[in-house]
Amino acid sequence: AFPSWARTVPGLEAFATGALELRDAGNGFGLGVFATKLVEPGQTLLSVPFSLCVTADSVDSDPAFRERLQAGMLACGSQVPLPPRLRLWLYLVHAHLDPRAPQHGFLQLCPQQFEDPAWWSEDELSELQGTNLLATVRREQRVLAKQFARHVQPLTEACPEHFPPSVFSLRRLTWARSLWTSRAFPRFLAGPSASSKAPCSAGGRLAMALGGALLPVLDFCNHRRGINTEYVVGPSAAGLQLVLP
């Protein structure tokens, strides 16, 4: 359960004490973080350590993932490096599977299927005939299928004990891609080298431009439309804090 997982993560103690809770936000919005007690202005609600965040260059910090990937590459004799984004998506599949992964508890709570066009049926996609969106969806499907056939399928065939085909499938890669594209924040939030600041409304564009980052738990925190919210990260911070203005 999420509260027991949160007890092991420094900065998320508010879930253990009951000051914060994770529950259905209603109206189809999914899970959200809610305060159960009065929160004072300037109070830090939670702090997510940078070690819990996921970026394209952080996935190799998980020794179990490195071991899995090395075993698979050795078994299939591949010398072709994995594309960084594909490596990231494979890590998300791995972390969802492996209870030892730091983000395992978080990923168990994330949606397991999505509503973006990558998940639409052929009948639903036919409604996009004549639009640029259909061409974009088809292109993304071809790219992912090509990467799966070239890089992932050989791993599942040569090393099924580390890459079980039922887990490391095209569908699960589609899940990882949708998870990433729907929840990624700007990259600098996952560990800055210098002070950074950007308005909240710029998040989607910056997430793509800077590579993006998953920020477990913080992506369950929502606010009313129109609230003046900013991302602020200092150079010496050990994690990303959520503070009431």
- The confidence score (pLDDT) of residue 153 equals 96
- Range in 55-59, 65-69, 204-208 the model is least confident about: 204-208
Contact status, residue 64 vs residue 102, Cβ threshold 8 Å: no
Q: What is the CATH topology of the domain spanning 2-243?
A: set domain protein methyltransferase, domain 1 (3.90.1410)
232 compared with 170, residue with greater pLDDT: 170
Which tokens hold the place of 172?
């699960």
Distance CA 87, CA 177 (A): 11
- The confidence score (pLDDT) of residue 223 equals 63
243 compared with 48, residue with greater pLDDT: 48
Instruction: Categorize the per-residue pLDDT at 166 as very low, low, confident or very high, splitting at 50, 70 and 90.
Output: very high
Distance CA 20, CA 33 (A): 7
Instruction: Categorize the per-residue pLDDT at 63 as very low, low, confident or very high, splitting at 50, 70 and 90.
Output: very high
- The confidence score (pLDDT) of residue 210 equals 43
- The confidence score (pLDDT) of residue 196 equals 44
pLDDT by residue (tens digit) across 115-132?
Answer: 899 999 999 999 999 999
Which residues touch 166 (CB under 8 Å, ≥6 apart)?
none
Does 193 score more than 50 pLDDT?
no
167 compared with 210, residue with greater pLDDT: 167
| DSSP line for 76-138 | HT--SPPPHHHHHHHHHHHHHH-TTSTTHHHHHHS-SS--SGGG--HHHHGGGTTSHHHHHHH
Does 18 score more than 90 pLDDT?
no
- The confidence score (pLDDT) of residue 10 equals 82
Distance CA 32, CA 109 (A): 11
Does 1 score more than 80 pLDDT?
no
- The confidence score (pLDDT) of residue 9 equals 82
| DSSP line for 137-181 | HHHHHHHHHHHIIIIIHHHHHH-TTTS-TTTSSHHHHHHHHHHHH
Please give the helix or strand (H or E) that residue 224 lies within, else none: none
Which residues touch 50 (CB under 8 Å, ≥6 apart)?
190, 191, 237, 238, 239, 240
- The confidence score (pLDDT) of residue 233 equals 64
Collapse the DSSP code of 217 into the 3-class scheme (helix H, G, I; strand E, B; otherwise coil) and give the result: coil
**Residue corresponding to tokens 């973006």:** 116
pLDDT by residue (tens digit) across 152-162?
Answer: 999 999 999 99
Average pLDDT (79-88) is: 89
Q: What is the pTM of this model?
A: 0.86
Does 87 score more than 70 pLDDT?
yes
- The confidence score (pLDDT) of residue 227 equals 65
Instruction: Categorize the per-residue pLDDT at 228 as very low, low, confident or very high, splitting at 50, 70 and 90.
Output: low
On average, the pLDDT of the chain sits at 84
